[in-house]
Structure 1
Amino acid sequence: MIRVLIERHIAETLESAYEDRARRVLQQAVSTPGFISGETLVDSNDPNHRITMANWRSAADWDRWYHSPERRELLAELTPMMDRDEIITVLQHSDMP
């Protein structure tokens, strides 16, 4: 299993429009093979900073979703609402004891 951390920063006044579209992205991801679970959090010091944590069965499953036409189409609606590029970090469990 891997965990994917997605950070986005929303432009001022676009929070509600962003929420609607971001919910659609997560709903589409939920039905994607390999998706396990996910949640979106709001930075308590910056309400426009959103972090989504998603668990995927494998890096290959995540990669397939990341490059899918469905995600690209949905992200095309989100990108204009962000004032920074999204930051994606793929995490895996360490082999350390």
Structure 2
Amino acid sequence: MMTVVTTSTLRPGGEAEWDAAMQARFDSARERPGWISGQLLTSEDESSTRVIVGTWRSREDWEAWHSDPAYLDQRATLQRLEAGPGRSEWFRVVADARADDRA
């Protein structure tokens, strides 16, 4: 299992539209093979900062999603609302714990 963490800085005033486009992107990812989970985070101190945490079965599954039309449709919107290119970092998941895992 792999997690990609992407940090983006948004242009002022575009936060709501960017968040909606990212929600649409999450909705499309749910249908993709290998999708496990995603979170969209915003900093308490920097309202223009967004952090996307996406977890996939493999990096190859994530890469295949990047050719999906639903993914590509939102890319132009997201880029238009960003102050510059985002920064992504990959992590191998060593342990995973969730509230719904309790028996």
What TM-score do the two structures reach when normalised by structure 1? Answer: 0.87
Query: Are positions 1:22 and 2:22 aligned together?
Result: yes
What 5-or-longer segments of structure 1 have no aligned partner?
none
Q: 5 Å matches for 1:4-83?
A: 4-83=4-83
Q: Separation in 1 of the partners of 2:63 and 2:56?
A: 10
Runs of 4 or more, structure 1, over 4 Å off, are none
> Which amino acid in the other structure matches residue 91 of structure 2?
L
Instruction: Report the secondary structure of 1:85's partner residue.
Output: coil
Q: Separation in 2 of the partners of 1:55 and 1:83?
A: 25
What TM-score do the two structures reach when normalised by structure 2? Answer: 0.82
Q: Specify the alignment match of 2:2 in structure 1.
A: 2
Instruction: Report the secondary structure of 1:18's partner residue.
Output: helix
Q: Separation in 2 of the partners of 1:17 and 1:55?
A: 23
Instruction: Report the secondary structure of 1:61's partner residue.
Output: helix
Q: By percentage of residues, which structure has more strand? A: 1
Output the aligned Cα RMSD. Answer: 1.5
Cα distance, 1:37 vs structure 2: 0.7
After superposing the two structures, state which structure 1 stretch, 16-25 or 61-70, moved more.
61-70
Q: Specify the alignment match of 2:99 in structure 1.
A: none
Q: What's the % identity of the aligned pairs?
A: 21
Q: Separation in 1 of the partners of 2:62 and 2:80?
A: 23
Instruction: Report the secondary structure of 2:77's partner residue.
Output: helix
> Which amino acid in the other structure matches residue 27 of structure 1?
D
Instruction: Report the secondary structure of 1:46's partner residue.
Output: coil
**Size of the alignment, in residue pairs?**
94
What 5-or-longer segments of structure 2 have no aligned partner?
95-103
